[in-house]
Structure 1
Amino acid sequence: MSNEVNDNPISTLIGKPSRVYTMGDMLTEDFIPDRVNIELSESGEIVRIWIG
């Protein structure tokens, strides 16, 4: 099972816990099934959105 957000409408992510970080940042290793993770490039563009 993939944690990538590919086929779901972005509206399904509203109200979920979230974490926004820049590529290369250190992250905790805790797995939170409902958490939305938004990875940004150095210039602030969204690179990846994933759950966990």
Structure 2
Amino acid sequence: MNCRFCNAKLDFEFIDLINSPPSNSFLSKDQLNKPEKFYPLKLFMCDKCYLVQ
């Protein structure tokens, strides 16, 4: 994976929030008892330009 700003390789994993549901996936009452989709959520910091992404 490369930095979106300077295109350097992203090697430094800043934080790992494990699996999280999408932030805009509001559930209705009918969906509350059904399984929800989760996705890996990790933040990386660029060693060259220090952008966190």
More RCO (CA 8 Å, sep 6+):
2
TM range (shorter): under 0.3
Query: Normalising to structure 2: TM-score of the pair?
Result: 0.20
